[in-house]
Structure 1
Amino acid sequence: MTEGRRVLVRVPATSANLGPGFDTLGLALSVYDELVVTELPGGRLEVIVAGEGVDDVPRDASNLVVRAIAYAFEAVGRPVPGLRLDARNVIPHGRGLGSSGAAVVSGLLAAKGLLEGEVDFSSETLLRLATELEGHPDNVAPALFGGLTIAWVDEDGPQHKKLIVHRGVSPIVFVPDFTMSTSVARSLQPAHVPREDAVFNVSRSALLIAALTQSPELMLAATADRLHQSYRAQAMPDTDRLVQALRAQGFAAVVSGAGPSVLVLADGPGRRLEAAAVASSAGDTPWETLMLAVDVKGGTVREYAEGST
């Protein structure tokens, strides 16, 4: 028996919340995990990992990508084949850049590619399956579709709207060498917030859509938040210090996802160098600087040929 179909998957990092848009807004960023998935005979499973998570990513059926592939096959009533995964992980793990969402999306897109011509996975189906696995659509929507996404859930399940980001928006991410658990970060938030804080965030979320799509000069005001970042600050004081230092200098800095990375939405490429200078002098914490672009494609899958990239 020979190997079956082989597909190449590429999925971007994401930053969720973007300040006030808690569990709703997400942005795809130009850092990518790549994955080659090959059908194997006999139900065998091989997982090869390079890059991020090389020491702790599971190599068995508990691997999140493997689980997502199996979930997609089972959802359409197809038996899960044997698999070999060759993963090249670049998205930092546990840093608020959507690594788990990217793994889920990678697995679903791999399943879509392996079943190409037999089963049609619509965008709606992919988002539903990804949200069922991840728990929230704010990271998986931009990973699937790229750009800026607004995600919500109604009686028909998870929904999304993709928007094109203004070309003047220039993201820069500062990544520390420590991690943050999303579940721990969520546990620090109160079940109820003051009405004025809720109204504040509604206004800033609406303004943020305008800032990101039409008026980048409004970014600083638009990224203000009273709903989650201050409550999580105690668990990542270095992150909070950097966010406050950057905002004091006029930069639209926010906690990326659940943290501890910091995202700055600069209103021009040149401003990113100034933000990097602030980060280098803000305390003793070393920050890896990633000067990125907004990814506009989202996750992709195609047939893999040996030697292709």
Structure 2
Amino acid sequence: MRQHPHVKWNIKRGGRDAPTPTPSLTPLPNALFEDAAYPVKWNIKQGGHDVSAPTLSFPPLPSETITLGASAVSVSDPPQPHHGHGGIGMHVQLGMLFTMKSLFPGALLPEGTKLAHDIGAAPPLRFASRADADAVPFDYNDLDAILGRFGIRRGSKKAAQVAETLLTCGEVTAAASGGDSGEEPRTCATSHEAVISFAASALGTSAPRAATTVVHGGGGGRRRREEPRRYVVAPDGVDRIGSGGAVVPCHPMPYPYEVFYCHRPSDAVALRVELASVGEDGDAALGATAVAVCHMNTTMWDAHYFDMLNARRGEPICHYMPQSYVLWLAI
């Protein structure tokens, strides 16, 4: 098996962990925070009943055609399910979701699929320790104070992003405190320490390993790397990673500093997918080594996913994890 991509989450100098900058409380740039590539939850329950609506609220998708393997599916604005007092649109970035049966060498991703960081997004800073993060309010009831602390105008799109993250993480905290044994382990981690602690606990290991997507090509750091207009799955480009046990995907949430929604889904398989460029961009230097997670049992997922992918309820559905996402493995 080829070595899977990984990221070192702690850097030691002279035998000690290097300090991580504490987020500045000065006003932030005007750019929006980088949005999630897809909803963090595939189904939501209210009062013990499934509700066909994702947790996060975004504008509906524009009409577009998504190519899945050799087939094309026309996707237009989906019907708006109701949650609370308003409708919720399902936001999924182009090319992120696909059926497992459509993942094979030679399969084309939709033109315009982007796996790199969003160059227009405000880069988040990171709290190193849980104690430092816990000293900053992180509750929807403190929304006004949080917006003021980070110089975010109330009523702005950035304020809406912050509010959505706080509401989602409030649901996570409430579910965890309720002790529902049927719920998968999940958390909103507001620090480097909290992410690693959750991954270690959920995977039953003292040293979880992080795997991330790597985009090959020009650029560096948080600048958007050069990406081809279209990716294709390379020959012999699909490998399973990890020991076949549990995995912990961590999704970045739009917020002034780094917040991850981490969970341990049941019946999930982790893959490494080598992607090459096609067409005029067929340069060997361009492409990506992508991390993907396949959910093998989608029986309880929102109906919109099956409509979007022309799939049957219950069949395996996968998603790529863009560059800012982190997958944790037991080895």
Q: TM-score, normalised by structure 2?
A: 0.27
Higher helix share: 1
